[in-house]
């Protein structure tokens, strides 16, 4: 019968290859997570904001000119969300009610074009115009375009909230 001598085990020692494996594993995880985030980001937003950036720039310049003309006109508008309708009030530079305006508008959700509502405003008292909007709830962006009987155009944009 032969007895194998019981040799004591040496305690665990960190060697160079252990450090190399740990650092390599750490950076492999970081690179994998970063690569995953990049792929997800590129798939959800390819970076193209507009297919016609030059034309958008021209429209922006026209919008600035329209706002300057609107400022010279001196009209002021206020908008309100009322149950089942949208109400607008128009005043001139001196605070007098503006009458006889032809106003069109639209409501749309802030984040999507789905559910757009076209509005036709009628004057219910001097300077106050209302349009039926149906049953709405939540936040909506209003764009109203008003034209005066003697000329002059005014575009108002407001965010309205129904309970």
Write out the DSSP string of 12-61: P---HHHHHHHHHHHHHHHHHHHHHHHHHHHHH--S---S-HHHHHHHHH
Mean pLDDT of the chain: 87
> What was the pLDDT predicted at 25?
98
Q: Where are the domains of the chain?
A: 74-162
Q: Above 70 in pLDDT, residue 3?
A: no
Choices 3.40.50.720, 2.60.40.1220, 1.10.3720.10, 3.30.365.10: CATH for 74-162:
2.60.40.1220
> What was the pLDDT predicted at 16?
92
- HEC assignment per residue over 120-133: ECEEEECCEEEEEC
Contact 86, 136 (CB under 8 A): no
Q: Above 80 in pLDDT, residue 6?
A: no
* Per-residue model confidence as pLDDT tens digits over 50-100: 788 888 888 998 889 888 888 888 888 888 888 888 999 999 888 888 888
């Amino acid at each position: 019968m032969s007895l194998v001598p019981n040799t004591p085990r040496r305690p665990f020692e960190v060697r160079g290859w252990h450090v190399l494996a740990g650092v390599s594993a750490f950076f492999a995880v970081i690179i994998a997570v970063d690569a995953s985030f990049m792929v997800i980001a590129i798939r959800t937003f390819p970076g193209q904001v507009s297919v016609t950036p030059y034309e958008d720039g021209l429209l922006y310049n026209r919008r600035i000119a329209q706002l300057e003309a609107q400022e010279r006109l001196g009209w002021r508008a206020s908008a309100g969300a009322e149950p089942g309708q949208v109400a607008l009030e128009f005043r001139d530079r001196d605070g007098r009610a503006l009458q006889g305006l032809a106003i069109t508008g639209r409501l749309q959700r802030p984040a999507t074009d789905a559910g757009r509502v076209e509005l036709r405003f009628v004057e219910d008292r001097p300077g106050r115009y209302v349009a039926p909007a149906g049953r709405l709830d939540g936040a909506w962006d209003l764009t109203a375009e008003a034209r005066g009987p003697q000329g002059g155009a005014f575009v108002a944009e407001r965010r309205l909230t129904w309970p």
